[in-house]
Structure 1
Amino acid sequence: MRIAMVSEHASPLATLGGVDAGGQNVHVAALGAALARAGHEVDVYTRRDDRDLPERVELVPGLTVVHVPAGPPRQVPKDDLLPYMPAFGDLLAEHWSGERVPDVAHAHFWMSGFATLRAAAVTGTPVAQTFHALGSVKRRHQGDKDTSPPGRIAIESSIGRRVDVVVATCSDEAAELARLGVGADRVRVVPCGVDVGHFRPAPVVEMAGLPRTARFRLLCIGRLVERKGIETVIDALVDLPDAELVVAGGPSADQLGDDAEAARLLALAAARGVRHRVRLVGRVDHDALPVLTRSADVVVATPWYEPFGIVPIEAAACGVPVVGSAVGGLLDTVQDGRTGLLVPPRDPGALASALRSLLDDPDRRAAFGAAARRRAVTRYGWDRVAAQTALVYRTLARGKVLTEVAVG
């Protein structure tokens, strides 16, 4: 199949760890590569944010990133991109003219869906939509701190009803889509994936410059934003005197001093009397993440909300148990009592209790880790996720062919 993936702000080429670079970038890059390995021709359309970027970059054989000149050729926060989406959609329609019409287009994020539907109205291309995050959930948890453009929720609801299918990443998202008026018959749940070859169990080795300073190591990985709930872990650390907390993510280590959230977290740690057991290490290269993950006794993921969450399945693939918030995608990826433990969000007491129960029971930690690895391989390997996604695409492409035959 000829597949167009549209990811207006999350380029597969972007450096991870920035404010607008994270799980979606990984998802688009890895899904596109897995589809290409399966023999499909994949173009990923993303906004040109640097005037020196070439129009097309081959990421791997069969997977090409296309930079679309919609809006200024510079970095723009994703919440400010909506005014450029009509032009983005018109340029997509130009790309897909004549014999270049894709068999299916897969939009990632709501603004990509806005642009893709605009192009599809011209080309007749079937459209699949993955939201990655829903504005209704963001507004519920962030309230006045939500920086989304006005009308986002209404636009998302409209997109969900207009596309041919919504590919949700977890069951919690499917339930939220139903509340937005998107019929269950239009939703397919296909999870995000993990590279189970890159993230795998192996002997624990000490990372250079990061020696263990306590009996147990807890690890958080992710962007340094308040909703990730690292504050909750620091509060729980007060009741875990034999554990250290390593936080990876955000800007590079030499720029952490200028990061407001890093400063806030370190100030909190000092106020709680645990500053000597909290280390922020900044952004860690993708190649080094498995080594860092395996160095932890437990990976902790306690966001206020999480549309899916890549870190829990990366930990699972490494054979490391997760203690996480019972929210969003973690309700699917962490099997409470089998591969890890789930606790209410923003509850330091419950988190400390769950962590204590695992830290004091090495056999249970090992059993959870082994079960997590098995589940990661059987459910979340990228080739499996790509095959499930391709089945959805084939249904759409087949419907397009049948419609054309009937019209003809």
Structure 2
Amino acid sequence: MPSSSLNIALVTLADLSNEPAAGVHAVHVTELARALGQQGHRVTVYTRRTDESARPRVRLGAGATVEHLDVGPALPLDEAGVLPHVKAFTEELARRLSQGRQRPDLVHAHGWLGGLAAYAAVQDTGIPLVQSFHGLGVVENRRPGGRRTVHPARIRIERALGRGVTRVLAGCDHEADELVRMGVARPQITVVPYGVDGERFRQTGPTMPRGRRPRLVMVCGDLENGGVATAIRALVHVPDAELVVAGGPSRENLETDPVVQRLTTLAKELHVSDRTLFLGRLPRKDVPKLLRTARLALCLAPHQPSGMTPLEAMACGVPVVTVPAGASADSVLDGVTGLHVPAGQPVAIGRALRRLLGEETTLSAWAIAAADRAHSRYAWERIGAETVRAYAGLLPEPEPEPVAEEHQDEEEPVGAGV
């Protein structure tokens, strides 16, 4: 490895074992580890074993591995289920971090539970600790029903971590502003956005079947708070288009899911059910196949929309119509790679969609700009390099190599030997 390479520990308690259905947090950690490894660093991801068949150590790519710690049941658990096992995870993590060659130059924790474990594990070690939250509890609390889903300890712990770690990496400017309001010092925060896999998400490649109608696509994990109801209401004002929604429960559970039932009923009441299709949760390998069939991608969540979905759509050459909140406000350039629309205003959104679908030249120009921006600004190679630059200021300056003394023979007097 090059002399400037780092030994980096990434710590997360997200489920990394189910790649086809991985969430934003898990995808970010996995792709970041690969990007850092490809740049010559030695990266170890520490996480909890959530699958009995998972090997203790798994290679992600050049220089990057995952170590599964046997803590708690080998099953996927929600945050409340993981929390009782954080102490045991911390103890095993601290043991591994202290083992000679495994001692990292720095630890980068992901999520509030990963941060809680990492913070305790590095105490009194002198190892710098970097924190990424991948969404904040104070923002999720603002969603309808958010107070029921956000763990009671999360906001307090996120605030303490933000103030106590060496550096916080925010995923976007909005998150950085929220952290400042939580009491984190602005100089302690560095904005490093999410990245996109340009090999998987690209303009050319296989596509899903589609009809002749212009297709509007939404990809969101939370159908209740993801702006899907707004999209269905907006569809009333876009008479020739169809709406395809991916996310939520698995396909086999769509008919019994209460949120899908409510959204389906809404579509029937508005007489757009024949133009509204729910696909359920898609494997990640199928998401680009769907996005390539879209004329426009919709990201209408009013609170903390996914930072990854607009990037993946843009990388596939699909302009994005988005609420300018969270990472979308940074990644989607209004009037260049997509359109910013007001949250929760289906009439205005519908009219904007109808107008855009009639402007073929505009859509073609936006598609080119969207793909170019996604593949240049948000390539994982660049995100990895920005992350390392954020690390660099936390590490001691390398000691200069000693300069060897030069021994020269005594010079002869000028003119000697003449």
Question: Structure 2, unaligned stretches of length 5 or more?
Answer: 1-5, 400-418
Deviation at 1:351, TM superposition (A): 1.4
Please state if 1:90 is matched with 2:88.
Answer: no
Aligned CA distance change for structure 1 residues 201 and 347 (closer, same or farther; 3 Å): same
Please state if 1:371 is matched with 2:369.
Answer: yes
Superposition map of 1:64-79 within 5 A: 64-79=65-80
Deviation at 1:308, TM superposition (A): 4.6
Contact 2:19 2:284 in 1 (8 A): no
Number of residue equivalences: 393
| Matched residue type, 2:64 | L
Deviation at 1:183, TM superposition (A): 0.5
Question: Which residue number corresponds to residue 33 of structure 1?
Answer: 34
Q: Normalization by structure 2: what TM-score? A: 0.89
Question: Which residue number corresponds to residue 14 of structure 1?
Answer: 18
Contact 2:36 2:43 in 1 (8 A): yes
Deviation at 1:145, TM superposition (A): 4.4
Please state if 1:141 is matched with 2:146.
Answer: no
- Taking the aligned partners of 2:352 and 2:142, their CA distance within structure 1 comes to 26
Deviation at 1:122, TM superposition (A): 4.4
Question: Which residue number corresponds to residue 411 of structure 2?
Answer: none
Superposition map of 1:3-402 within 5 A: 3-11=8-16, 13-17=17-21, 21-99=22-100, 100-143=102-145, 145-202=147-204, 207=208, 210-212=209-211, 214-306=212-304, 308-398=306-396
| Matched residue type, 1:338 | V
- Taking the aligned partners of 2:383 and 2:339, their CA distance within structure 1 comes to 24
Contact 2:223 2:247 in 1 (8 A): no
Q: Which moved more, 1:114-123 or 1:244-253?
A: 244-253
Partner secondary structure for residue 74 of structure 2: coil
| Matched residue type, 2:46 | Y
Identity of aligned residues (%): 41
- Taking the aligned partners of 2:255 and 2:307, their CA distance within structure 1 comes to 27
Contact 1:104 1:125 in 2 (8 A): yes
- Taking the aligned partners of 1:288 and 1:98, their CA distance within structure 2 comes to 41
Deviation at 1:65, TM superposition (A): 1.4
- Taking the aligned partners of 2:124 and 2:223, their CA distance within structure 1 comes to 39
Q: Deviations over 1:328-355 (max 9, x none)?
A: 1111011111111111222211211221
Q: Deviations over 1:83-138 (max 9, x none)?
A: 32222212110111131211111111111111100001043321110000101111
Contact 2:15 2:76 in 1 (8 A): no
Q: Which moved more, 1:123-132 or 1:162-171?
A: 123-132
Contact 2:305 2:327 in 1 (8 A): yes
Aligned CA distance change for structure 1 residues 144 and 41 (closer, same or farther; 3 Å): closer
Aligned Cα root-mean-square deviation (Å): 1.9
Contact 1:9 1:78 in 2 (8 A): no
Contact 1:14 1:25 in 2 (8 A): no
Deviation at 1:16, TM superposition (A): 4.4
Aligned CA distance change for structure 1 residues 335 and 6 (closer, same or farther; 3 Å): same
Q: Normalization by structure 1: what TM-score? A: 0.91
| Matched residue type, 2:18 | A
Contact 1:160 1:166 in 2 (8 A): yes
Contact 2:140 2:304 in 1 (8 A): no
Q: Deviations over 1:57-91 (max 9, x none)?
A: 22223221111223333222124422322222121
Larger Rg: 2
| Matched residue type, 1:7 | T
Question: Which residue number corresponds to residue 413 of structure 2?
Answer: none
Question: Structure 1, unaligned stretches of length 5 or more?
Answer: 403-408
- Taking the aligned partners of 1:225 and 1:308, their CA distance within structure 2 comes to 12
Partner secondary structure for residue 141 of structure 1: coil
